[in-house]
Amino acid sequence: MLNRKNIAIIGAGAAGLSAAFYLSKQKYNITIFESAPFVGGQASTININGGLLERGYHHLFTNDYSIIQLMKDLNISNKMKWYPSKVGTYINGKIYPTTSPLDLLRFGALPFTERIKLGLLSLRIKNIKNWEKLEGFTANEWLEKKLGGESYEKFWKPLLRAKFGDYFDQIGMPWFWSKMQTRFASRKGKIPISFLNKEVLGYPDGSFETIFDHLKIYFKQNNVDLLLSTPVTKIIPQENSTISLDYKKNNSHNTRNFDFVLSTTPSFIFSKLIDLPNEYLKKMNSAHYIGALVMIIELEKKLTDHYWVNIVDENIPFLGLIEHTNMLPKRLYGNKNLIYLTNYLDKDHKYFSLSNSQIFDMYLPHLKKFNEKFSENWISNYHINSLSAAQPIIGKNYSTNIPAHNTPIKNLLLANTTQIYPEDRGTNYSIRMGKEIAEKLNKT
Ligand SMILES: Cc1cc2nc3c(=O)[nH]c(=O)nc-3n(C[C@H](O)[C@H](O)[C@H](O)COP(=O)(O)OP(=O)(O)OC[C@H]3O[C@@H](n4cnc5c(N)ncnc54)[C@H](O)[C@@H]3O)c2cc1C
């Protein structure tokens, strides 16, 4: 009989759940500690009139291979559905469609020559194979240098701002490169030149919760211990290279010892759980996190014709509008049209200290800008969610700064969104990371 090792996973988001799924059940006894009363972390859901919806808008791209594979491994591939996406950009008081190259050619907010420059630059980025040579630039520097003019100032710069807020000029160019590759890869159709095809986005039937639910069932059947509402409060390395965890359960403090610990918490939480050598700490702190403030509104009527609207207007206090029910049918949510209004902000931004009704009152007057017929009585309900570790800011030359998954403490590992590079963070990449770590541990 094999002597199975005990492993603790801190965090039941995509990374932690994936690691638990792919760890060998013959080799490990697995315990997952999750501070929230639910699984899914940033991709967790709330119930809206009987339908489950992510706290922050979520979709997938066709090259999100690791999550697609996980669904295969769970035998739920049939739950993944692909929808045409419709992206717009709100600028000068109007939403311009910006989904396809043809849309870009018609993008009246820019002079024609600037639109051509935009299209040519996108093609140039598509053809770059070696992202390493982009490492020494921020996206802002590179785009300004190669594009300049109105197409930079009025298009890419505001879009970078919309995604990264005040940190828009610190993002490494590899991030931008990989985002463009993903968007190109997600175009499907019969036209041989792929970027001319329509973009499709993936969404699991029943929300991302469908995947998490099937994982929970698998864990139950395979004796994986999933402890919800159980925050880890301290990680204490022992002299014999095992690791103790202090954790809170039902208001009582407990301690348990493990052979291995994998933490999937954001870096700023991890560094409070354990003292780490300075060099590793410095790497961990090299990626700053920004938070997200997301309001979901339930409307009686449709607000726009778009799934996703980037907002290029400094007078509007939110940066993006995602009309989820322009992708999924509204009958899933009690026939309400669901809109996300989103903002990426520093964790100590003043908006985070506002009450829900103050945020609602601040956003409300701007909805008419997207549909002049809009009236307040279309709103039947709203929800506000804030996430503190929504987006790591990954700067230039990051490959030399990524903290390793193996921390300087023996048998203690870290897997969080700051270790995803050059891709943007996303459920797919957290699942990939969880799986890679599990496979390495399976071999030890
Ligand atoms: C607004 C928004 C929109 C997004 N849109 C998309 C999208 O369209 N597509 C996509 O693929 N991805 C999207 N993402 C990103 C995606 O959700 C994340 O990258 C992914 O879910 C991260 O998973 P994770 O497991 O690495 O981290 P997390 O989800 O952050 O999981 C970490 C877990 O650790 C737990 N934890 C923290 N501290 C402790 C502790 N002390 N003890 C126990 N547990 C602890 C947390 O509660 C959490 O559950 C979006 C994110 C946001 C915020």
Residue 3's pLDDT is 85
CA of 119 to the centre of ligand 1 (A): 33
Other beta carbons within 10 angstroms of residue 124's beta carbon come to 12
Pairing of strands 28-33, 225-227: parallel
Atom of ligand 1 nearest to the CA of 15: 25
Q: For the domain covering 288-393, report its CATH number.
A: 3.90.660.20
pLDDT of 414 strictly over 80 = yes
For residue range 290-301, what is the model confidence (pLDDT) as tens digits?
A: 999 999 999 999
Q: For the domain covering 5-58+208-287+396-443, report its CATH number.
A: 3.50.50.60
Place of tokens 């009527």: 301
Q: How does residue 186 score in pLDDT terms, banded at 50, 70 and 90? A: low
Q: How does residue 118 score in pLDDT terms, banded at 50, 70 and 90? A: confident
pLDDT of 190 strictly over 70 = no
- Minimum CA distance residue for ligand 1 atom 53: 390
Residue 155's pLDDT is 87
Mean of pLDDT values over 227-247: 98
For residue range 28-45, what is the model confidence (pLDDT) as tens digits?
A: 999 999 999 999 999 999
CA of 426 to the centre of ligand 1 (A): 8
- Minimum CA distance residue for ligand 1 atom 6: 58
**Measured distance between the N- and C-terminal CA atoms of the chain, rounded to whole angstroms:** 18
Q: Around 396, how many Cα atoms within 13 Å sit in the side-chain half-sphere?
A: 14
For residue range 320-331, what is the model confidence (pLDDT) as tens digits?
A: 999 999 999 999
The domain ranges of the chain are: 5-58+208-287+396-443, 83-204, 288-393
- Minimum CA distance residue for ligand 1 atom 12: 426
Question: Is the pTM here over 0.75, yes or no?
Answer: yes
Grouping H, G, I as helix, E, B as strand and the rest as coil, residue 8 is strand
Atom of ligand 1 nearest to the CA of 12: 49
CA of 226 to the centre of ligand 1 (A): 17
> Average per-residue pLDDT in the chain?
94
The Cα 205–Cα 77 span in angstroms is 10
As given in the structure block, the two tokens for residue 229 are: 């509402």
Q: Which CATH architecture has domain 83-204?
A: Orthogonal Bundle (1.10)
Atom of ligand 1 nearest to the CA of 415: 26
Atom of ligand 1 nearest to the CA of 427: 11
The Cα 312–Cα 188 span in angstroms is 28
The Cα 314–Cα 439 span in angstroms is 47
Mark 130-165 as b/e (b = at least 16 C-beta within 10 Å): ebeebbebbbbebbbeebeebbbebbbbbbbbbbbb
Pocket of ligand 1 (CB under 6 A): 10-16, 33-36, 41-43, 56-60, 231-232, 264-265, 269, 292, 294, 387, 389-390, 416-417, 425-428, 430
Atom of ligand 1 nearest to the CA of 230: 43
CA of 41 to the centre of ligand 1 (A): 4
CA of 325 to the centre of ligand 1 (A): 23
pLDDT of 352 strictly over 80 = yes
From the list 30, 77, 302, the residue with the least C-alpha distance to 205 is: 77
From the list 63, 99, 163, the residue with the least C-alpha distance to 308 is: 99
The Cα 405–Cα 388 span in angstroms is 22
